[in-house]
Amino acid sequence: MPKLTTDWMKVAQSGPTVDGRNIDPAWLLQAAETYSVDTYTAMLWPDHFRFQNYGKVLELRADTRPDSVVELFARIEPNAAYLWNNQFGQRLYFSMEIDPNFAATGKAYLVGLGVTDSPASLGTDELKFSHRRNKPESRFLPGAEFHGLTDDEEERVDGLIARVLQRFTIHPKTPASEEPMKNEQYAAQFEALEQRVAAFEAQVADLKASFAATVVTSAQSTEQAKEQAKEEPAQGAPDSADAFAKLCDTVLKLSQKLDAIDSRLAAAKPGETFNSTAPAGTAPLL
């Protein structure tokens, strides 16, 4: 896969910084002279933090303007992580990491290039380095805005970003469309429902017959008890007439409820309508 590279972009210039310090022109000239990816590759770091690089610096070039200001230019190779952030207007500017005495050579060297949201400036000399570098003379120098892609390269960037998005995007599966039911399926369902209703009606009929027999038996037993009570007066025994009356009343109410159930089952047979929104206690039993 071909790598994306930028055109020459200005990353710093010599002279006073916004905080009153100075960028030595010799640093930029020496950095352009000594830089080589074979010697030490300067990586692109988000805000100078060493946890995920955004690409690397391929080449450096220094130009001297008529006013003696030295400008440092770089060609970089950004990766997908950098392109992802940059498309949202993030990490627009560069910030040099210069070591004035690289590897005891006595010459300055670009050891890294930060990408940041700080505004473009002449350059800020910062004495502290990242946690992995403890040389106090190392410099962080903000520079210029990232804007060096050609039209062809922008199209390649768009394609690369689209591939990255596709890799990390979850595509929901299209649910299978439900086929409409056939007449045979409807007929089978209604037949099964009718069989269940018929079986339930038979159970209710058996239950009603059983209760009717119980009522007759209870009535006969009560008559016998009354006759026996007439012949043998009770001596301190509880009055069984009230108990019998309560029992008959309970059996009568239960029989009425069963009749109501039977009526609702008849109304629920297939082909007939029924009220499915009846109040609790009166809704059809299915």
Other Cβ atoms less than 10 A from the Cβ of 266: the count is: 12
Q: For the segment 84-114, what is each residue's pLDDT rounded down to a tens digit?
A: 888 887 777 788 888 999 999 999 999 998 8
**Torsion angles phi and psi, residue 285, rounded to 5:** -95, 120
Phi, psi values for residue 187, rounded to 5°: -60, -40
Query: How high is the pLDDT of residue 37?
Result: 96
Question: Active-site positions?
Answer: 19, 48, 95
pLDDT 10s digit of each residue in the chain, 286 long? 567 888 898 888 888 877 677 789 999 999 999 999 999 999 999 888 888 899 999 999 999 999 999 999 999 999 988 888 888 877 777 888 889 999 999 999 999 988 887 633 454 333 222 333 445 555 555 555 555 555 555 566 667 677 777 766 666 666 666 677 777 777 888 788 888 888 888 888 888 777 777 767 776 777 777 677 666 655 544 566 677 777 777 877 777 777 777 777 766 665 544 444 444 444 333 3
Q: The whole model's pTM is what?
A: 0.46
What pLDDT, on a 0 to 100 scale, did the predictor assign at position 53? 93
Tell me the pLDDT of the chain averaged across its residues. Answer: 74
